[in-house]
């Protein structure tokens, strides 16, 4: 990438009740072993009725601003990656703007599902190339617990709620910096992960609500196959484009969708499993928030990231969408 961008601040926010697999077993015909062996997930956080997606985002953004030593009024652009907005209209980014006091920023939502945060980072590189003075705040925030059918054990077990945010600006030689990003999508596969009813194509009716058509639906086996394929391909492409090999990668940080997917991606890339970061057991799949939250967690542990480490990030999401990024710590 001709103009790398710097990560100036990081923040994360998770609130609500910790829901374990044993908790789910009280209402679903499953147990901890059934969930753990299929997904690697042991627990997830579910927000209460009074906490909205925008509230989770405000928590993460406030932490990132503090980490960057900035005030809300210093931000020029705010991007929110989410597929679980507070409302269909207005944008949740604008709701957050009002709550957080981003007085001079222009704000928008970006919907690329679990790839959304990487998509936002890619947009930020172009904006900072045009105007290096910009301070950009990016947040991935999801309240997926409101979008899943809690009677469908194949999907509800996978997801949790949470948010994470980065402040990014023009690279000034100080690390960590994002050195390259690659994105992709394939709309022919849009039906693999979808919420079929509830928007302009098919508005809600009592009948489709009764059938649960306003909840997320997935074709699990097909999603698994395509997710592994596109993440492996985009990782190989970004490494080749930068003259790198997998042996030079300190950490692979994949979207935390399912431990089986993480394991397969690592296996096909031929990276040591000990260098594939996973926190899916603690949070489940939190979509656009998963990668930045993982990086925040790694940084906050204090011993996982060293100066000069090379991080390879990769994600896939509904659309299908996918992407990869390289960070030099």
What CATH architecture applies to the domain 178-328?
3-Layer(aba) Sandwich (3.40)
Q: Which one from 235, 255, 258, 296 is the annotated catalytic residue?
A: 255
pLDDT band at 1 (very low <50, low <70, confident <90, very high): low
Dihedral angle over CA of 159, 149, 143, 191, nearest 10: 80
pLDDT tens digits, 18-55:
999 999 999 999 999 999 999 999 999 999 999 999 99
Q: HSE (CB half, 13 Å, CA atoms) of 166?
A: 28
Express as a percent the part of the chain with pLDDT over 90: 96
Alpha helices in the chain (DSSP H): 21-24, 32-39, 53-68, 92-100, 116-130, 153-156, 206-210, 220-241, 259-269, 280-283, 290-301
The span from the CA of 112 to the CA of 320, in Å, is 8
Q: Which of 226, 237, 229 is nearest to 182 (CA)?
A: 237
Q: Which of 265, 261, 257 is nearest to 284 (CA)?
A: 257
Is 120 marked active-site?
no
Q: Which residue has the tokens 């603690």?
A: 282
pLDDT band at 296 (very low <50, low <70, confident <90, very high): very high
The span from the CA of 309 to the CA of 328, in Å, is 6
User: Could you confirm whether domain 5-174 is CATH 3.50.50.100?
Assistant: no
Spatial contact of 276 and 257, defined as CB atoms under 8 Å apart: no
Q: What angle do CA 79, 70, 255 make, to 5 degrees?
A: 40
DSSP code at position 158: T
Identify any residues that bridge with 310 across adjacent strands, giving them in sequence order.
328
The CATH 3.40.47.10 domain(s) of the chain lie at: 5-174, 178-328
Burial-class residue 48 by CB neighbours within 10 Å (0-12, 13-18, 19+). exposed
For residue 174, the model assigns a pLDDT of 81
The span from the CA of 269 to the CA of 233, in Å, is 9
Q: Which of 183, 179, 315 is nearest to 257 (CA)?
A: 315
Spatial contact of 117 and 321, defined as CB atoms under 8 Å apart: no
Is it the case that residue 175 has pLDDT exceeding 90? no
Mean pLDDT across the chain: 96
Spatial contact of 158 and 35, defined as CB atoms under 8 Å apart: no
3-state SS string for 39-94: HCCCEEEECCCCCCHHHHHHHHHHHHHHHHCCCHHHCCEEEEECCCCCCCCCCHHH
Residues in the chain: 329
Is 114 marked active-site?
yes
Q: HSE (CB half, 13 Å, CA atoms) of 19?
A: 22
Other Cβ atoms closer than 10 A to 253:
26
Q: HSE (CB half, 13 Å, CA atoms) of 217?
A: 12
Average pLDDT over residues 166-185: 94
pLDDT band at 85 (very low <50, low <70, confident <90, very high): very high
Q: Which one from 61, 94, 114, 296 is the annotated catalytic residue?
A: 114
Average pLDDT over residues 62-74: 98
The span from the CA of 254 to the CA of 125, in Å, is 21
Is 52 marked active-site?
no
């Amino acid at each position: 990438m001709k103009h790398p961008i710097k990560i100036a601040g990081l923040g994360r926010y998770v609130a609500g009740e910790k829901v374990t697999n044993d908790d789910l077993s009280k209402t679903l015909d499953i147990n901890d072993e059934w969930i753990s062996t299929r997904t690697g997930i042991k627990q997830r956080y579910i927000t209460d009725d009074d906490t909205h997606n925008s509230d989770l985002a405000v928590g993460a953004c406030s932490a990132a601003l503090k980490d960057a030593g900035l005030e809300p009024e210093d931000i020029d652009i705010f991007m929110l990656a989410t597929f679980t907005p507070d409302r269909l209209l207005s944008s949740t980014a604008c709701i957050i703007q009002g709550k957080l006091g981003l007085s001079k920023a222009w704000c928008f939502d970006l919907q690329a599902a679990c790839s959304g945060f990487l998509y936002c980072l890619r947009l930020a590189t172009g904006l900072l190339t045009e105007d290096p003075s910009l301070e950009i705040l990016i947040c991935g925030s999801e309240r997926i617990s409101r979008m899943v059918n809690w009677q469908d054990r194949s999907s509800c077990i996978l997801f949790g709620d949470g948010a994470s945010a980065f402040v990014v600006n023009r690279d000034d030689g100080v690390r960590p910096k994002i050195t390259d990003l690659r994105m992709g999508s394939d709309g022919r596969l849009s039906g693999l992960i979808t919420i079929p009813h509830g928007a302009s194509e098919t508005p809600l009716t009592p009948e489709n609500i009764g059938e649960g058509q306003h909840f997320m639906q997935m074709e699990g086996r097909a999603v698994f196959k395509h997710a592994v394929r596109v993440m492996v391909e985009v990782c190989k492409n970004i490494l080749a484009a930068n003259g790198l090999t997998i042996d030079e990668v300190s950490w692979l940080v994949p979207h935390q969708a399912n431990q089986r997917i993480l394991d397969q991606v690592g296996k096909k890339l031929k990276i040591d499993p000990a260098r594939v970061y996973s926190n899916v057991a603690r949070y489940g799949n939190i979509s656009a928030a998963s990668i930045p939250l993982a990086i925040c967690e790694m940084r906050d542990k204090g011993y996982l990231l060293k100066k000069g480490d090379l991080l390879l990030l990769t994600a896939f999401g509904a659309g299908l969408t996918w992407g990869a990024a390289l960070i030099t710590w």
